[in-house]
Every structure is written in C-alpha cells, then in structure tokens.
Amino acid sequence: MALRLGDVAPNFSAVTTEGQIDFHQWLGNSWGVLFSHPADYTPVCTTELGTVARIKDEFEKRNVKTVAVSVDPIDSHNGWIKDINETQSCTMNFPIIADDKREVATAYDMIHPNADDKATVRSVFVIGPDKKIKLTLTYPASTGRNFLEILRVIDSLQLTVNHKVATPADWKQGTDCIISPSVSDTDAEKLFPKGFRKVKPYLRYTPQPNLP
C-alpha cells in the first residue's frame, strides 16, 4: 500500500556507506530526506548525489539529515562514490543505503512495475521529527530532482508547523504568507502583530511571522 502524508515512515535497519543504521534512531530529533535511485552508476542520479553533497550545509541549517537508497550492494556504492566525487567536484558526506534485498524499497512502495519491476523509482520522502511523512515526490528517470525546491518545501513545512499560516504559490523565505482560514480576523490581530492584508475573507496575507 502506498504511503500517504501523515503516515509514520517505516523504520528499518540497513547497511550504508557510513555503517549500519536504525533509521528512526539515526533521525533522532532531526527532519529527514530519504531519496531513492534505480541503480548505481546512473547519470542523472550521479548529478543529484553530487548536488546534495555540495549543499549539505543548507540541509544542516534546517536540522535535516539526508540519506539515499539504491538496490545495489555496498561495494558497488563505494565504487560509485569515487565517480561522484570525481565528476561532481564534491566529497560525498551523507550515507547511501545498500538495499540489495529491496526491503526499504518495498516498505516505501518504491518498486513500480510499470516503470521497472526490479529497481526503485526515483522517489523523495520528507520526514518530520515525529517520524511522519510530510512530503512525497516521484520523478521520471529523465528529470533530475530540484533540491532547491525540496529545501523550499522544508522551509514552508517548518514555518507552518509552528504558525497558523500557509505559503502561497512560488513562496520563498522572507515573503508574505497566507493566514489559515480557521483563524478569525480578531485572532489574526493577536497572532500576527505585523498586521495583515485582507484581499478576500478567505485570502489574508501577513509578513512571514518567524522573521524579525
């Protein structure tokens, strides 16, 4: 059964390029990004792993741990890392799970027979500190993932979990947010001291509340 937003992310134990992990224990109180690859030595995925390695500090600023998964064994991963470092001008600095028995892929419903009945599709899961799934994405093999977009979504998730707002289309850090419809105008005046702009009764904008 496919995982839905709000479901608890399945826990697992696995061998990775940085040693054995228990996934939930490894996450601890951090957010997590788990993203899958159909196989090692694939061109698009090589660029993706390099990108995440180069911007790891952006994930760390947000208290996010990143981990990749592929159905190839650990020796293959270690060889692939050499290519990633060489071609992407980076140093791999986060783990890749060796899922040669496809246990993680099965738990996360990442084997899609219409795409490939043996390898994982290219999925992304953002997981909160409560171990619940906050975002799912599945990409076609031909399209590289946009990790700046994933960071943007994490910014929105971390903002909206603490404030009664949502973020509009193309929102970026520092721009106005939308007040949740469940908040009355009277309560909005108390919750948002910077004020708000009422376009329609259901559409009210306020400056990003977690900024000075």
Catalytically active residues are: 45
Using CA atoms of 102, 21, 138, 140 in order, give the dihedral in degrees to the nearest 10: -60
Q: How far apart are CA 134 and CA 127, in angstroms?
A: 6
Query: CB of 22 within 8 A of CB of 104?
Result: no
Please give the backbone phi and psi of residue 9, each rounded to the nearest 5 degrees, phi first: -65, 125
Q: Which of 64, 91, 29, 210 is nearest to 151 (CA)?
A: 64
95's tokens: 């783990």
Query: CB of 36 within 8 A of CB of 125?
Result: no
